[in-house]
Structure 1
Amino acid sequence: MSGPEQTAPDLPHDTSLAVWDLPSPAIAGRRATVKAGIACSSGCNLSGARIDVHNETGQRTGSGEAGSAPWPGTTSLYWVELDVAAPDMPGECAWTLRATASGPHAPATSMVRVVVAAAPQHRVTIAVTEKGSGGPVPGVDVRVGMFRGATGEAGIAQIDVPAGRFDVVACKIGYETLSSTIEVAGDIAVHLKAAPASEPEQPYWM
């Protein structure tokens, strides 16, 4: 007489953890936000999965639970925006994220590196005008060191930075890339003149 039928235990489902929208940079001593999402290889609903963030010493610096709806454009990436404490000192740091879900789901981990900058103290106002016409140039991507911004309809971008020496780079498709170096010890205004990019020469075919 045969004994009771034995059932195989559920095999764990593989999961993966995605991390995006990292702060660039994070500000020393302040809170930063980052998005993270967990997905199951079998497409399971992982809403409510817990995602924790730990710093390099293992201290938990942020946590949250995945929401009820997947990230737009995906079928099973359940995500949350996490509020994370940045280190008190500028530099580079590593954040380790760990996601755990109920049921037969293996945990997932991911490590990301984040640049931490000193708190901004001064405002850099950058005006970009077109060389020749003098008109404002909107939609210019501007970088002051690691801090970023873009010009509005008036051709002006305002970017807050700490004191120091910074490379300024401004670029927009259809214009030559602009670059300069500034010394910031207080609020400062910078005027850049953007020249339309020259058309590449067309090859001459015989």
Structure 2
Amino acid sequence: MSTEAATHTASLAVWGLQGPVEAGHPFTAAVGGTCNAGCVLTSRQVEIVDADGATVARAELGDTAWPGTANLVWGNVELVAPQTPGTHQWTARIAAPGHAAAQFAFSVASVPAPRHQLTVQVLDGTKRKPLKAAHVGAGPVHAVTDGDGRATLLLPPGDVTIQVWKQKYSAAEQALHVGGDAEVSFTIRYVPDKDPQYVRDFWA
């Protein structure tokens, strides 16, 4: 009677991605691997591939466990943002002897080179004063207003939709064409809590 050696299950993770990256520019992420049976995957190679299966980069897992874990060994991987702007689906994969092949899917946002500065002023519609800590976004580019109610976005030329939001305030958005440095103003109004418990639960 023959027996087969048990196959362990490996798991991968990728973290430390730096948000939108300018097309063609390098960036660094962390990749880690662990085994359900407790063995350590030190020195195992992880391959990063794009949506077509082409190899983007390779990294070797180190011998140090990530803080707070027992055997999640990790290493840095050097990557380059795709030349084509957009959100790209990549996959990290590992094939270690004695382990079932494992993979981890993640996305990389590649953006055109920013050329223009858009200053966004956000005002409290009730107090008619600058509103601090409001979120301002244009696609993958985000910022938070300062004490003067201002946030700066560095954007490529083209058509964008600017969105503004803050907890307990109405949201607002505006479509505009970015063709040079510019400034735009938003006024959003405070919305009283109708269900404080819901707000506490939702924003906790």
- Coarse TM-score class (shorter-chain normalised): 0.7 to 0.9
TM-score by length of 2: 0.78
Give unmatched runs, 5+ long, in structure 1: 1-7
Give me the identity figure in percent.
29
Shift of 1:135: 3.4
Deviations 1:111-164 (A, max 9, x none): 334343222221222222322334332322221123222223333222211111
Shift of 1:110: 2.8
TM-score by length of 1: 0.77
For the pair shown, the structure with the greater C-alpha radius of gyration is 1
Query: Could you tell me which of 107, 110, 113 is aligned with 2:104?
Result: 110
Shift of 1:89: 2.0
Distance (Å, rounded) in 1 between the aligned partners of 2:148 and 2:98: 56
Distance (Å, rounded) in 2 between the aligned partners of 1:41 and 1:99: 14
Contact 1:53 1:84 in 2 (8 A): no
> Aligned ranges for residues 1-206 of structure 1 at < 5 Å?
10-22=5-17, 24-101=19-96, 104-200=98-194
Letter in 2 for 1:174: K
Mark the CA change 1:198 to 1:184 in structure 2 (over 3 Å): closer, same or farther: same
User: Secondary structure of the equivalent of 1:51?
Assistant: strand
Mark the CA change 1:201 to 1:20 in structure 2 (over 3 Å): closer, same or farther: closer
Deviations 1:146-183 (A, max 9, x none): 32222233332222111111111122212221222221
Mark the CA change 1:82 to 1:142 in structure 2 (over 3 Å): closer, same or farther: farther
Letter in 2 for 1:93: H
Distance (Å, rounded) in 2 between the aligned partners of 1:9 and 1:119: 54
Contact 2:157 2:178 in 1 (8 A): yes
Letter in 1 for 2:169: Y
Give unmatched runs, 5+ long, in structure 2: 197-204
Distance (Å, rounded) in 1 between the aligned partners of 2:90 and 2:161: 28
Deviations 1:63-94 (A, max 9, x none): 32334443344333333342212222224433
What residue is the counterpart of 1:4 in the other structure?
Answer: none
Distance (Å, rounded) in 1 between the aligned partners of 2:4 and 2:147: 62
Contact 1:19 1:34 in 2 (8 A): yes
